[in-house]
Amino acid sequence: MNLNDRINFLEKNLERQIDWIRAADTKIVPLMFITTSLLGTTAAFISKAPEISRLILFFAITCISALLLTLYCIVMVSFPRIKNNEQSLILFEGIKHYGYKNFEKKVNELSQEIYFK
């Protein structure tokens, strides 16, 4: 890869990471609001029911489980896993692992074959 290709690669990589973070951050707030509202509504519905039958209990547990799973996914998006491959030139943790000088050296040695490995 020549210098312009390397620069384009690094700029596209950074842009991709920033877009990924921006997209995740944009979706979190409304989803958190809707999920917590639905959890509150479900709890209110259960507490107002004169008698809790097995059917109501089944639907309540299913609903609460799905909403708690949604909250878990929100947390996972809020704190993304950045430690996937410490030898990566794409993930932040891999870049941090190399240090500036070694990262610069690896980028200078970068070829398309190495990138797609």
Asked if 2 contacts 111 with a C-beta cutoff of 8 angstroms, the reply is no
How confident is residue 107, by pLDDT bands cut at 50, 70 and 90? confident
Asked if 24 contacts 39 with a C-beta cutoff of 8 angstroms, the reply is no
Of 76, 93, 77, 73, nearest to 85 (Cα)?
A: 93
- Domain segments of the chain: what residues? 3-80, 84-117
Tell me which amino acid residue 111 is: S
pLDDT of residue 58: 92
| Lookup result for tokens 């500036």 | 100
pLDDT digits 0-9 by tens, 37-89: 999 998 898 888 888 889 888 988 999 999 999 999 888 877 766 555 555 55
How confident is residue 22, by pLDDT bands cut at 50, 70 and 90? confident
Rg value, the chain, Cα = 23
Least confident piece of the model among 11-20, 35-44, 106-115: 106-115
CA–CA dist 10, 7 (Å, integer): 5
**Mean pLDDT across the chain, nearest whole number?**
79
CA–CA dist 6, 89 (Å, integer): 12
CA–CA dist 58, 69 (Å, integer): 16
